[in-house]
Structure 1
């Protein structure tokens, strides 16, 4: 009896937009273990099994690739830190910050390199960084979905900007040296520090 040879599974042909998204997701995954400087066109082409020429076709070069991956990572960060639609304000803040901490832990090398790149003089990368954190701050002033609905004043925005910088530095430092703080301890500190700061403002 002759056994029929199984037909090969047909390969799905991706559209240019789908292929570009696939490459960005691969670059984003590589950021979990590589710095931005290590994330070269050659590395991604090798990992994706495509030619360097195709990479240049989609991104125009190394800098275009960097900016596209950073934007993709920023969009992912914004999505993963979305607070739930319902619950008490502090519960929603805690959930949002838990998403942030877990994101940084899972993508530590990449996130640190993104911060470094954003402060390294590249205007486009800096703009992506600033725009993302401004959007994160805006969540505090919206009632739907999941905003904290705190007073929108210049002084409050100034404090939130400083608090965001503190949280970022604290979480990155904690990743390197936890100093005896558990994840829950860290979340408690950064969550309760925001309303404590706002309470110090003159009425």
Structure 2
């Protein structure tokens, strides 16, 4: 039993080292510039360890991508715990836009993600994390009688599309602080149009 426990600990330590090295390198350099060998070396492991745990560079990138998305989802979920659904939504919007200015999110999720994963896989993973949160918020806003009567699925898709495109616009902006301010104002104005007067 102790041997199995040690193996599991070693496997987890190996996996964590690869995730940490991958996250750092995917922020510092373009996905296409990195080799599996460089990533393994940065983690002080063999390329075989990378292939064993993640199947290769793309598998590691996907795991890092999902790690970052899960962290964001956790922060957004924490913003949605108040008594006022509208104010919760505004806090979640602010948390999302703040995250869009962070270097790891911008580089890995927004800039390198579509290149490394392909558009379809990127969208599938992003929706897995974000769409449920948006759907839950829209449902809560509808239950509270805050939104205009519109088809909920279309409202969810419209808000998700708005957030996705604003995030990409912020990632491409030269002045991230100004882009953050502008994005916040634009998103608030557009989402407020869905609110009952």
**1 CA distance for matches of 2:126 and 2:177?**
30
Give the TM-score, by structure 1 length: 0.70
Query: Corresponding residue for 2:113?
Result: 114
Q: Answer whether contact 1:55 1:61 (CA < 8 A) is retained.
A: yes
2:191 corresponds, among 186, 194, 202, to 194
1:74 corresponds, among 65, 69, 72, to 69
- Which structure 1 residue ranges, 5 or more long, are not aligned? 1-12
Q: Are 2:60 and 1:65 aligned?
A: yes
1:102 corresponds, among 98, 106, 115, to 98
Q: Answer whether contact 2:18 2:43 (CA < 8 A) is retained.
A: yes
Q: Provide the aligned length of Structure 1 versus Structure 2.
A: 184
Q: Are 2:43 and 1:43 aligned?
A: no
- Which structure 2 residue ranges, 5 or more long, are not aligned? 1-7
The change in CA–CA distance for 1:138 and 1:26 in structure 2 (over 3 A counts) is farther
Q: Answer whether contact 2:40 2:46 (CA < 8 A) is retained.
A: yes
How far the C-alpha of 1:57 sits from its partner, in A, is 1.6
Q: Kindly provide the CA deviation profile for residues 68-107 of structure 1, in whole angstroms up to 9, marking residues without a partner as x.
A: 2222222122112222411432321122122212222112
**1 CA distance for matches of 2:17 and 2:143?**
35
Give the TM-score, by structure 2 length: 0.72
Q: Kindly provide the CA deviation profile for residues 8-50 of structure 1, in whole angstroms up to 9, marking residues without a partner as x.
A: xxxxx94312431342244234443334434542232122121
Q: Are 2:159 and 1:160 aligned?
A: no
How far the C-alpha of 1:199 sits from its partner, in A, is 4.9
Q: Answer whether contact 1:33 1:110 (CA < 8 A) is retained.
A: no
Of the structure 1 ranges 160-169 and 174-183, higher mean CA displacement relative to structure 2 is found in 174-183
2:49 corresponds, among 54, 58, 63, to 54
For the residue of structure 1 that corresponds to 2:27, the secondary structure is coil
Query: Corresponding residue for 1:93?
Result: 89
Q: Which has the higher helix share?
A: 2
Q: CA RMSD in A?
A: 3.5
The change in CA–CA distance for 1:102 and 1:109 in structure 2 (over 3 A counts) is same
2:124 corresponds, among 123, 127, 134, to 127
**1 CA distance for matches of 2:194 and 2:136?**
17
Of the structure 1 ranges 171-180 and 158-167, higher mean CA displacement relative to structure 2 is found in 171-180
